[in-house]
Amino acid sequence: MIAKPPGHPDDDAFVPSRRSFLRGLAAVGALPLTPALLAAGPASAAGDGFPLVTGGVAADVFVDAGDDVAVRRVAGDLQADVERVSGVLPILTNRTAGLSRAAVLIGTIGHSPVIDKLVASGRLDVAEVAGRWEASVTQVVEAPMAGVDRALVIAGSDRRGTVYGVYDLSERIGVSPWYWWADVPVPHRDTVTLPPATEKRREPAIRYRGIFLNDEDNLSQWAYRTAEPGKHIGPVTYTRVFELMLRLKANYLWPAMHPESDHFNKYPDNARLAHEYGVVVGSSHPEALLRNNVHEWQPWADAHRNADGSLPEYDYTVNPQTILDYWRARAKANARYESVWTVGMRGIHDSGLVTKNAKTTAERVAVMNDILTQQRRILAEEVGAVPQIFIPYKEVLDLYNAGVRVPDDVTLIWPDDNHGNLRQLPTAAERQRSGGNGLYYHLSYWGAPKSYLWLDTTAPAKIWQELRRAYDNGVRHTWIVNVGDLKSQETGLSFAMALAWDIDRWRAEDVQPRLAEWAGRQFGAAYAREIAEIRQGYYELAAALRPEFIQSGVFSLVHHGDEADRRMTAYRSLIDRAEVVGRQLPAAYQDAFFELLLYPLTGAYLMNLKFVCADRNALAVKQGRGAGVNVFADLAERAQADEEALTRRYNTAIAGGKWKEIINPYPANVPKAPRVPAVTRRTRTGAVGLGVAAEGNETGVARPLTFSSYPRNRRFIDVFNTGFASLTWQAAPSHSWVQISTTSGITPDEARIWVSIDWAAAPPGVSSPEVRITGAETTVTVPLQVVNDGERGRATGFVEALGYVSIEAEHYDRLVPRSGATWQTVPGLGRSGAAVIGVPFDAPRLDGDSRTVAPELQYNVRFATAGTFPVTVYRLPSLDERGTRRLAIGLDAGAPILLKGTGVTSATAAWSRNVVEGIEKLTTSITVDRPGEHVLKLWMVDPANAVDQIVIDTGGLPASYLAPPESFHPAFNPNPGR
């Protein structure tokens, strides 16, 4: 069992996202989990459907011997997939003679005479397919040739179009793209019948869609020790990667490139196999012209020494010809393969451009321009007209903005800020480039301010937000996603590639139902919604702080009902729900369930728990506790041990040891997740003593417990032992309408008393009751302040109470669109379950008086006091390095107050804090001229701003990491205290 921190409530009131998640599901109606998609059995009557497998016999599979090698190979995968589903191995043939009466015909238009004949006769509908990029059609054709009564025809516009058509069929009959990489079982079916409807897969939204294996220490160790001993990622591993990519409809790979991995071209089979699978190979931002400098530059330099015998430097201003020859050699070697060629230059590894003889920005720009000219000459002479990309990453972006001239046919690849937030988008002129624009996006990252390499923690809604924003702003040619070690990124990678294939299928309200759809494809429709809800709760908790970012002292132990404990309760509730699902799943699904849900969820919980318990240990020392100090020290170290045991299970027991070395929060060569911090212990004595700390106080009871008849909140009192012998204590309220969860106890360490108010019996106005705690010959009186104004039923909006107003931004009372723009609710985005975002993403900036030009959200707020109060807008980080991103806020008819976001280059320290916390706090003040009803207004000035929460501090808001719980609202939050 996993340790629970003492004193946490057992209810699931604090589990995030359930309300917003279900709201998202309801927005699109029933889940799109059709039998055709899940292949749960015959999809239609046998007379109408195509019998792929029936009566122990499978339809033959035909592919022309002259078709592309990638097409011939994938036909073999379909053969294997049919056997995985039915136990029957189809005959795979390249001869039409003797085909079964029902047969599968696979081919590429223009490369398969059988397919071309069907097209020419008008019997195969290739409208919107022929001549397109990676398109295909799947169609049942009656009597396509002599001896065949019916054929299921899969025809592609090009070789990958055919490959995707085949893999689409595999998924429809029940083979998940993750059948191997996540051990998703293939449900057995004796009969497999396909619907007769024609299926067309038109051109993908993004031309090149791919992954970057990066910071791949664990993947490299797994390959070396488990998958292909002796190779730090070689052909065996890459063939598995290629297959997964194509099943996900990806087509583009940046191979692993760090020192701990074998470079891609070390093994000639890697490039050959990529070609045979149909995967386009490229290289990352420091790897110009497919060169892995980490491994390849030093041998080249050794073999091409300077005239004086010295080693040439990787500095174009010092050794230009040696470097040009180095690039040319790779262009010659890989010219016969389909590649995308990275142009430009950085340092040997993932470092800045080194230019000893170019000091100024203008000089460095001139150097980069010459590099581009020479590289393109090499490519033209050695390879021909090939796709090329330029990646203005980090300092290269500064050079690009300073005047680097990138040829028009080169694709510009715009990087995010390494934490999933776009930095810069193309201008109107850049959108017109013939080479188009691309995106380099991180789901995993090594670097400042903090690394996140362990778990998949970027919510699908966040991926949708940024990729949709990129697409709407003309970034449509190439998307490359950094997936780290690949394992643990299964969900995020699936979503990113699905968006890249068909982005218009995904509206904001569709993201969470798509998460349920994805879960259903892996585990069955019966478990889809529950697994998706659990997963969304996990993402929401990570949005507040990724588990790799945890450190001491982040979450408050004494404010807002114990902020840290609320978080741990949410995690624990999600784990409890996951364990219930796990017990219901058949044995065959247990490995996949552990890999895709239970491990990341439980691992994140334990990473948080060890720090929360260590923080409690430190607080216990400050409070003068006895036994409790050691209890929390033990719990912190137990959480670390449980986390290590959980990872050990992944690496030794799951899938029979298949994943040995694949998962490790503490890898050897890349940044590690934090281990348990140091804790304090006390020597046991026979002493006993009473200690009391009331909520809102780190020590003692000086700050009263405050209660309001609006939220009808509860507060806690911690009763603890300053010694080690058992403490006997009693608690008694001064008034009968003050309710306490327990009145006495015997404890060696601590007990938590929850205090609430019987509002039906409480007197009106302000009261000051007490709770008296007695034990060990000591009495402590805990003061309370109770405000009961009897006006709860008359409230029309959010109500000030307990010194603040807290609003979840999607809970607006009115929406006013303007200037062709509006605010849209995005379920699953941000910390609180949903956020509002200004759309369309490519809307113009709305300068002028926001009251007349900008879309507006209105929030009814009832203030109990008047004054000038700080107001903070919790905005998801959003960048524009060519400027700032703005929104405005105001009260009633007052003038809008413009709020400007931070740019990553203009305020690095501020941006570092924002990306770690997953939020940017924009603060100003508003003046409330009188108590009573008011309207708070939020205006979009620049598009794509996403707002999560709004908090007004009316005097009494304690400092905490998270926003305080949402205030009472009669419609949106009628029972906040429950």
Average pLDDT rounded to a whole number, residues 6-27: 41
Report pLDDT for 230.
96
Give Cα separations from 286 to 294, 345, 731 (angstroms): 10, 6, 66
- Non-local (6+) Cβ contacts of 112 within 8 A are 63, 64, 66, 67, 106, 155
Lookup result for tokens 């080194």? 354
**Interval 348-379: pLDDT, tens:** 988 889 999 999 999 999 999 999 999 999 99
Angle between helices 18-28 and 511-523 (to 10 degrees): 90
Average pLDDT rounded to a whole number, residues 519-536: 97
Taking the C-alpha atoms of residue 496 and residue 514, their distance in angstroms, rounded to an integer, is 12
Report pLDDT for 41.
35
Specify whether the CB–CB gap between 824 and 836 falls below 8 A: yes
Report pLDDT for 879.
80
Q: Give the closest residue to 517 by CA, choosing from 169, 189, 28.
A: 28
Using a cut of 0.75, tell me whether the model's pTM lies above it: yes
Specify whether the CB–CB gap between 185 and 83 falls below 8 A: no
Other Cβ atoms within 10 Å of 389 Cβ, number? 25
pLDDT over 50 (residue 83) = yes
Taking the C-alpha atoms of residue 332 and residue 291, their distance in angstroms, rounded to an integer, is 12
**Interval 611-640: pLDDT, tens:** 999 999 999 999 999 999 999 999 999 999
**Interval 151-199: pLDDT, tens:** 999 999 999 999 999 999 999 999 999 999 999 999 999 999 999 999 9
pLDDT over 60 (residue 844) = yes
Report pLDDT for 23.
44
Lowest mean pLDDT, pick from 17-21, 265-269, 415-419, 655-659: 17-21
The pair of structure tokens assigned to 399 is 């050079």
Angle between helices 528-544 and 511-523 (to 10 degrees): 120
Other Cβ atoms within 10 Å of 907 Cβ, number? 13
pLDDT over 60 (residue 34) = no
Ramachandran area for residue 335 (φ above 0: left; ψ -120 to 50: alpha; else beta): alpha
Q: Cis peptide before 763, with omega less than 30 degrees from 0?
A: no
Angle between helices 490-501 and 460-472 (to 10 degrees): 30
- Non-local (6+) Cβ contacts of 740 within 8 A are 731, 733, 753, 754, 755, 771
The pair of structure tokens assigned to 676 is 């348990």
- Non-local (6+) Cβ contacts of 48 within 8 A are 195, 196
Report pLDDT for 790.
86
pLDDT category, 861, cuts 50, 70, 90? very high
Average pLDDT rounded to a whole number, residues 62-80: 98
Specify whether the CB–CB gap between 121 and 93 falls below 8 A: no
Residue 498: strand pairing partners = none
Specify whether the CB–CB gap between 150 and 102 falls below 8 A: yes
Taking the C-alpha atoms of residue 668 and residue 740, their distance in angstroms, rounded to an integer, is 51
DSSP letter, residue 422:
B
**Interval 116-163: pLDDT, tens:** 999 999 999 999 999 999 999 999 999 999 999 999 999 999 999 999
pLDDT over 60 (residue 21) = no
pLDDT over 60 (residue 46) = no
Report pLDDT for 978.
62
Report pLDDT for 603.
98
Q: Is 930 exposed, middle or buried (0-12, 13-18, 19+ CB in 10 A)?
A: exposed
Report pLDDT for 8.
35
pLDDT category, 29, cuts 50, 70, 90? very low
Taking the C-alpha atoms of residue 775 and residue 778, their distance in angstroms, rounded to an integer, is 5
Report pLDDT for 397.
86
DSSP letter, residue 184:
-
**Longest Cα–Cα distance in the chain:** 100
Task: Report the percent of the chain where pLDDT is more than 70.
Answer: 95
The pair of structure tokens assigned to 43 is 């999809």
Report pLDDT for 421.
93
Task: Report the percent of the chain where pLDDT is more than 90.
Answer: 91
Q: What angle do CA 747, 751, 757 make, to 5 degrees?
A: 140
C-alpha torsion sign, points 264, 268, 270, 271: positive
pLDDT category, 907, cuts 50, 70, 90? low
Q: How far apart are the first and last CA of the chain?
A: 28
**Interval 375-391: pLDDT, tens:** 999 999 999 999 999 99
Q: Backbone phi, then psi, for 428, in 5-degree steps?
A: -60, -40
pLDDT over 90 (residue 13) = no
- Non-local (6+) Cβ contacts of 15 within 8 A are 537, 569, 570, 573, 574
Helix (H) or strand (E) holding 566: helix 563-584
Other Cβ atoms within 10 Å of 102 Cβ, number? 20
Residue 784 three-state SS: strand
Average pLDDT, the chain: 93
DSSP letter, residue 445:
B
DSSP letter, residue 151:
E
Taking the C-alpha atoms of residue 807 and residue 464, their distance in angstroms, rounded to an integer, is 24
pLDDT over 80 (residue 664) = yes
**Interval 423-441: pLDDT, tens:** 889 999 999 999 999 999 9
Average pLDDT rounded to a whole number, residues 533-562: 98
Taking the CA of residue 948 as centre, how many other CA atoms within 13 Å lie in the half-sphere pointing to its CB?
Answer: 27
pLDDT over 70 (residue 42) = no
Report pLDDT for 906.
61
What single string gives the DSSP state of each residue in 267-306?
Answer: SHHHHHHHHHHT-EE---TT-GGG--HHHHHHHHHHHS--
